Structures are given as C-alpha cells and as structure tokens.
Structure 1
Amino acid sequence: MPTATAPDPHGPTVRTGSPTRRRALAAAATALAGALAVGGMVALAPSASAGEFLTNGDFESGTLSGWTCDAGAQAVTGQAHSGSYALKGTPSASATGQCAQTVTVAPNTAYTLSAQVDGSYVYLGVDGGTSTWTASTGAGYAPLSVSFTTGATQTTAKVYVHGWYGEPSYLADDISLQGPGSGTTTPPTTPPTTPPTTPPTTPPTSPPSGDLPTHALVGYLHETFANGSGYTKLADVPDDWNIIDLAFGETDSPTSGTIHFTRCSVSECPSVESDADFKAAIKAKQAAGKKVLLSIGGANGEVQLTTTAARDAFVSSVSSIIDQWGLDGVDIDFENQSLSLNTGDTDFKNPTTPAIVNLIAAIKSLKAKYGSGFVLTMAPETFFVQMGYQYYGTGPFGGQDPRCGAYLPVIYALRDDLTLLTVQDYNSGPIMGLDNQYHTMGGADFHIAMTDMLLTGFPVAGNTSNMFPALAPSQVGIGLPASVNAGNGYTSPDQVDQALDCLTKKTNCGSYTTHGSWPGLRGLMTWSINWDGYSGWAFSHNFDSYFG
C-alpha cells in the first residue's frame, strides 16, 4: 500500500525533511474505512433472478448520479473502458478520492462486486467487509472483483472505489454489484450506530515509570542521517527533553533481524561529533536524569522477525548497540511492512503471526536481560493502533489490509513492560473515534479522540467481547510534528493546549466528550528535536509553558 508523502513525516515510508528520510503515513490512515459520507441508497426488491444493484455504475449518465464522492471526482469522456464515460477520482493529501454507493441487500445472500480500473493503488470493496486493490494496472484498465455474503440481519451494504492519499488520479468504469433482486432508487438513510459507553478493563496497576518526571517531553534526534533541519549534536540538545530517541537503528535485510546503528558521516553531517564525544554526551544526559534510547525501524528500517533466527539476531545485535553506547533502552518504531497479521490471526490477545510473536519474545528477552530500569517506548501510527477499532488484520473475509491494528497484540503483550506509547497523531487519514465519528488530524479534536481511545480502551473490529484494554495515563503521550516542516498534521500551540486541557482537566473539549480525565497523562512526543530547533524551539517551549 502506498503512503502519503509529507515534508518530514514520522511514518511508514521515510523520515522527511530529506528526500530519503521521510516518515509518511502508511495509511496510516483510513485505508479500509471507506468514505466519510454515506452514498446514495438503492432499495431492492429481492427476487430469484440475478440483478444489477448499482445505479449509474457505467457513468453513462455523464454525471456521478447515484454516487457520493470525495471532492474532485468527475465523470470524464475519452477515457472509458466501454461506452463514453468513466469515473475519474482524484486523491489528495487528506482524502482517497473515494466514490461510494449504499444499496439495500437481503440477509444471508451472496453478492459479487466488480469494476474495471486504471491507475495505481486503486481499491474496490464493501465497507466493513472484504476489499481488493491493485498497486498498478500498467498502461490500461484491469479488472477488480470481490465476493461477499451478507450477515444474518444485514439489510444494507456500502460499496466503494477509491485511490490512495497523495497518489495520482485513477479511472473506474463498469462498476457492477450482482446478486438476486432488482431495485429502484430511494432517499439515503443512515444506519444506526452505538458507541461503547463502558471502559473494558482497568489499566496496569503498576506500569514501569522509567524514572521519568510526571510529565515528559520525548523527541527524536537525527543521528544516522542529515536533512533540511540540520545536524544537532547530542550535547547541544536542551535540557527540556526527557527522552531522546536516537534515529535510527536499521537493517540491511528486513528479515535478517540484525540491527545496525551507523552514525552520520562527516561528509553528510560536517558538524558531527566524534564517537568519544557522543558517548560522553550520552553519559552527561543520563547524569542529568535524561533517557537516551535506540529507536529501531523508521521508514527505511523495515524489520520482519519472521523466524526464530531473526528474533535471536535482533536480540543479539540490539544488545550490542545498547552495550556499546550505554543506552537506557529502545523505542520500537516499526513501519511500512514490518508488522502485519497473517490471515486467520484474529485474536490480539493470542497472536499467531511469527513476526508478531517473535517481536514480543525479543523485547521480553531484552527486558529480562537489562532489568527493571530498561526503558521501552513505541511510536506506531494510527493505522496500526486506533484503526483496529474498525478493522483488524485481514478481517472475516480475508480482504482487508493485514496491517490494520497490527500493533495491538504487541502493545497488549508488553503492556506491563511498556514505559510509554506515543502514537503518531500525524501523517494520518481520518480515523474513527469512540463516538463513531471520523476525526481529522491537525487540531485538538484529533488528539483528544485518538488519546481517549488509548485511555478508555475499545472493542477491536467493533467486537464488544474482544476489548483492547485501557493503558495507564502514565504510559501514554501524544505524538505530534514539531513544525509545519516536520510532517502533515502540524498542530498549533493553542490547539495542543486545548487537547491537554481536555484530556487532563476535562475542560475546553469542544464537541468531543471524553470518557474520563487523566491528569497523569505522561506528555508529548515530537518528530523531531532537530525540526524543533530549526523552528526556534517553539514546540518544547510550549510544553514547558503548559506543564511548568
């Protein structure tokens, strides 16, 4: 799946600020969430004969009649698969260019959705069910098709076609939904939803504190590369920063498990300090009560511990880096394809996917080796965590993106060892919150809704009998870009303060109602220390101003 490109994102492609180090949204986003608007409703009178369920699926009306589409969609001529017209969808940085249509269906009935599509990263599916996609159709149209069977009480289905965030326009034509029945158009309706009202379980009673202050500031230091923000020596990092994540430990081969940490060269970073001075700076920071961690992964550091040999190589190589530099622990920043769930792996409490199981075992081995003082942090994207509220892995029909919610089993298994979780609330598409509304990055509302999910807990894939439990407030921080240069979803200081007011005091919440207030919320994380310095330290100064 593609990722949305941003100026300097902390996400699944590369760290930005440099053309080779950009952290983009692996979806982070709403890959399978479908459109935000409900499409036109087509009511059908079921019969024994096969019928077409979609209105204007060939777009020969010359309009988008019957469809509800993201901005920029249009019916175009001269580019059709058949006939005269086709749909042209145009994704943006914040939308997938989706067109959707809702139809009335019969319970316990099989249907087939098909389309001809032309472009890259084009998706076809049914909301809440199966989907399919193509990375590229080459030079012309190619078919996509999915089949699904409705549930015992299901009476509507929303089908969609869309591209992907930041990708070029795509074409779709001859979209068809075949099944028993035929129908006529009726006004749109909205299916009822009921948000969860009761937190599922209590958080860990004694989560590791990592000897952190009550409110901590976390930042990434560009240590193995240079970009437009400039190189910052560790000794020059201001005392505001409580956890300093050295970015990044990476692999040469995704499945080898061997991690290396190669500091930026003099040719790339002319002001880089010597190894001796770097090691001395680590000790000085630690003497001042700061934690210095190895951040593993990032966009270029894809890690897939698919074998026990890779697991053991990971533990050995990471231990060597920790020992060489005298570090306090690790930050798990697995992105892109590092974590995904195998088909049939449906229980986050009992994962079976080797890459997930081996990662959990590897981190537990590191924790056992270094003891209670070992600091463990994670910085996943919303796609791998909060998206799990709607979708988990490949889903019941095997057609969803297998990365949906893929961090949940790791967080759950390590929740008693986890010092801090700082989900990246940026480079993200719209994500559904516990109010069953979509929330968009860049303002207080997004941070409030996303953090409320972590501190309240939520049903995984909507299954109220399978609840992801709340984390302790001391284990949760909010991840943000330090400046407009650092990534999509920059949040102004006043909006950051509003989010903190709501989450810690339950005041100034706007339209969202949280499920509690958490004065012990640990703090904030940012990509990155370098970008904050580049922007005059505005992010860290605002943190200091708020928490004192």
Structure 2
Amino acid sequence: MPKHFLTGYWHDFVNPAQELKLSQVPDQYDLIAVAFGEATSRAGEVTFQVDPELSTALGGYTDAQFKDDIAALHAKGKKVILSVGGERGAIQVSDGTSAQLFADTVHGLMTEYGFDGIDIDLENGLNPTYMEQALRALHGKAGAGLVITMAPQTIDMQSTGGSYFQLALKIKDILTVVNMQYYNSGTMLGCDQKVYGQGNVDFMTALACIQLENGLRADQVALGLPAGAGAAGGGVVAPSAVNDALDCLAKGTGCGAFKPSRTYPDIRGAMTWSINWDVTNGGGFAGTVGPHLDTLP
C-alpha cells in the first residue's frame, strides 16, 4: 500500500446514493472496501455475492463481471477488500469454532473473487480474543500481503480498554490501518481530556491523538469521514477540513484550538463512507482529499 492512501466503501446494495459498478470507482481511491459480506445461520461464516437488486439497477451486473472489475483494479495498483458488519451486520465470532469458520470462509471468498483482505466493521460488538484468533488464522492462510482494516465507532476507541482498541493492539503486527468513524457520534473526549463535538478539525485531531499516543503506529491511523450530504446523520465536514486535520497531525499546520504535542508525518490517510455518496455529491471528497495525500510528508 502507498505511504498515504484513500479508502472508500462501495455499496453492494441499493439506497438513495448512485449505484456503481466497481469499474466506475474514481481513480483517486487506492483501497476499495466492498460493503458488505453477510452472516449466515452458522456463527462466524461469511458469504458474499453481488446483490440481486443492485445487479438489476445496473442493468445486469454479474459476479463474473464483478470479479473482472477487481482484476482490472488490481492492474491499476488498487486493492479491494471485503468489509464485514455495518450497522445491521450480524456476524459473530465468539469461540474457536466460529473463529476458524470466519478465517476459512473469508479466505475462500478472497480466493474466489480476488479480495485482498478484510475490513472489520462490526458495529454490534466483537470479541477481541476470538477475532484476533480468526484474523491470525486468516493471515496464516493468505500470507503477509493480507490487508486488514478496521472501522470502529468513536466510542470504541476512547480507551485501550475498549474491545476494538484491544483488538487493534492485539493484531498490531498484522494490522494495516484503523479508519475510525468520525461521524454519527456524540461528543467525545480528546487525548487532552477535553470534550469535543463532531464536525470540525479539533474533533478529528484530538480523537486521533488517543490512538496515536496509546499504542498504534501513525501509519495505522487514518481519518474516516462521510462523503457529504446523505452519507451520515452527523459529522459531515467539508473535504478541506479533512485536509486541515491531516496537515495538523502530519505537519503541525492547519490546526484548530487543539494542537498535538508532536507531529505524526506517517499518518496513513483518510477513509470515506462512501464512494457511492461521494459520486452522488459530485466527487468532492476524493477530488479534494485524494490529491492532498500526495502533499503529506
């Protein structure tokens, strides 16, 4: 993966945002997270297919075409991963059996479709002990090139005692990046123990600081923001504010009232929910944040 990169989620479902084939993903996105792999009645099992309703909306988009599009993205140097979870995700990994089934079925989907890894977006709770076991088993199958990302909510990364933070630290040696969701959030504490509200530079920098100062490497921390109107219920910021927050963390410039005690030039980049919403809103997120990542140290 590049030193700094842009992640976006791609909808495998139909909602008010514009439907897209993978081949229509804007070039500024380096990592595409396909949302979502689905649970089955067997704990830990993950399945995936191109959603039939989406296929119809796109005039007939088949699994075969989807696989070809992943191959074409690979040829352009992009990575494509499968995200599991989401707001309604019901995947449960809570014992050794479900951990192994998770690893086996995700690896099977990687082999079948060409996915480069996995995104953990389990918003209804996770067990860090057994999810670590699952991800290490998957890493053993897929090898060192496996991409592992996480998309916790803000409350999940307030302290190292939280299950998501525990998992991130447990798998630090194989973790690619944490794209915390700086949106749909109430007020949260920053690393200076002051209270911050979402929707501004200080919220991003003061909360990122918690991860940066409590065990994660700077290259394992990125900023997750909505791609404009419709993408989230709160926390939408102008893409330029994302750039300011990245500059504040990487270079100490562009800060608001909160200024970190040191800089983190290796800060990994940004994520957005979602590529579909970004395209719907005119492409401003990728068009603004993507090029700016090239200006970071």
What range is the shorter-chain TM-score in? over 0.9
Contact 1:305 1:358 in 2 (8 A): yes
Does residue 1:509 correspond to 2:296, yes or no?
A: no
Does residue 1:218 correspond to 2:2, yes or no?
A: no
- Once the two structures are superposed, residues 410-444 of structure 1 have per-residue CA deviations (whole angstroms, 9 ceiling, x without a partner) of 11110010011111111111111121111111011
Does residue 1:495 correspond to 2:241, yes or no?
A: yes
Does residue 1:483 correspond to 2:197, yes or no?
A: no
Does residue 1:313 correspond to 2:101, yes or no?
A: yes
Q: Distance in 2 between matches of 1:515 and 1:378?
A: 26
Q: Secondary structure at the match of 2:46?
A: coil
Q: Counterpart in 2 of 1:536?
A: 282
Q: Secondary structure at the match of 1:368?
A: helix
Contact 2:151 2:181 in 1 (8 A): yes
Q: Counterpart in 1 of 2:217?
A: 472
In the TM superposition, residue 307 of structure 1 has moved relative to its aligned partner by: 2.4
Q: Distance in 1 between matches of 2:15 and 2:136?
A: 34
Q: Distance in 1 between matches of 2:145 and 2:93?
A: 25
Choose from 112, 129, 136 the match for 1:364.
136
Structure in which a larger fraction of residues adopt strand: 1
List, as ranges, runs of 4+ consecutive aligned residues in structure 1 with deviation greater than 3 Å: 266-269
One-letter identity of the residue aligned with 1:484: A
Q: Distance in 2 between matches of 1:295 and 1:280?
A: 19
Q: Counterpart in 2 of 1:260?
A: 47
Contact 2:150 2:178 in 1 (8 A): yes
Unaligned runs of 5+ in 2: none
One-letter identity of the residue aligned with 2:135: I
Identity fraction in percent: 38
Contact 2:50 2:62 in 1 (8 A): no
Cα distance change, pair 417–275 in 1 and its aligned pair in 2 (3 A): same
Q: Distance in 2 between matches of 1:249 and 1:523?
A: 24
User: 1:369-384, aligned counterparts within 5 Å?
Assistant: 369-384=141-156
In the TM superposition, residue 297 of structure 1 has moved relative to its aligned partner by: 1.1
Contact 1:226 1:269 in 2 (8 A): no
Does residue 1:420 correspond to 2:177, yes or no?
A: yes
Q: Distance in 2 between matches of 1:410 and 1:545?
A: 31
User: Greater RCO between the two (CA within 8 Å, min separation 6)?
Assistant: 2
In the TM superposition, residue 283 of structure 1 has moved relative to its aligned partner by: 0.5
In the TM superposition, residue 267 of structure 1 has moved relative to its aligned partner by: 6.9
- Once the two structures are superposed, residues 239-298 of structure 1 have per-residue CA deviations (whole angstroms, 9 ceiling, x without a partner) of 111000010012134x71111113211477421522221111101101111000010111
Contact 1:218 1:243 in 2 (8 A): yes
Choose from 28, 32, 51 the match for 1:240.
28
Q: Counterpart in 2 of 1:23?
A: none
Q: Distance in 1 between matches of 2:94 and 2:256?
A: 45
Aligned length: 292
One-letter identity of the residue aligned with 2:64: A
One-letter identity of the residue aligned with 2:169: Y
- Once the two structures are superposed, residues 368-403 of structure 1 have per-residue CA deviations (whole angstroms, 9 ceiling, x without a partner) of 1111111111111111112x26xx4xxxxxxxxxxx
Choose from 100, 112, 117 the match for 1:324.
112
User: 1:38-437, aligned counterparts within 5 Å?
Assistant: 212-223=1-12, 225-253=13-41, 256-266=43-53, 269-271=56-58, 272-336=60-124, 338-339=125-126, 355-386=127-158, 388=159, 392=161, 405-437=162-194
Q: Secondary structure at the match of 1:407?
A: helix
Contact 1:384 1:406 in 2 (8 A): yes
Which structure has the greater CA radius of gyration? 1
Contact 1:295 1:330 in 2 (8 A): yes
Contact 2:247 2:253 in 1 (8 A): yes
Q: Distance in 2 between matches of 1:472 and 1:256?
A: 32
In the TM superposition, residue 493 of structure 1 has moved relative to its aligned partner by: 2.5
Cα distance change, pair 267–407 in 1 and its aligned pair in 2 (3 A): closer
Contact 1:452 1:515 in 2 (8 A): no
Q: Secondary structure at the match of 1:322?
A: helix
Q: Secondary structure at the match of 2:102?
A: helix
Q: Secondary structure at the match of 1:250?
A: strand
In the TM superposition, residue 304 of structure 1 has moved relative to its aligned partner by: 2.1
Q: Secondary structure at the match of 2:208?
A: helix
Q: Secondary structure at the match of 2:39?
A: coil
What CA RMSD, in Å, does the superposition of the two structures yield over aligned residues? 1.6
Q: Distance in 2 between matches of 1:451 and 1:233?
A: 32
In the TM superposition, residue 497 of structure 1 has moved relative to its aligned partner by: 2.4
Contact 1:305 1:356 in 2 (8 A): no
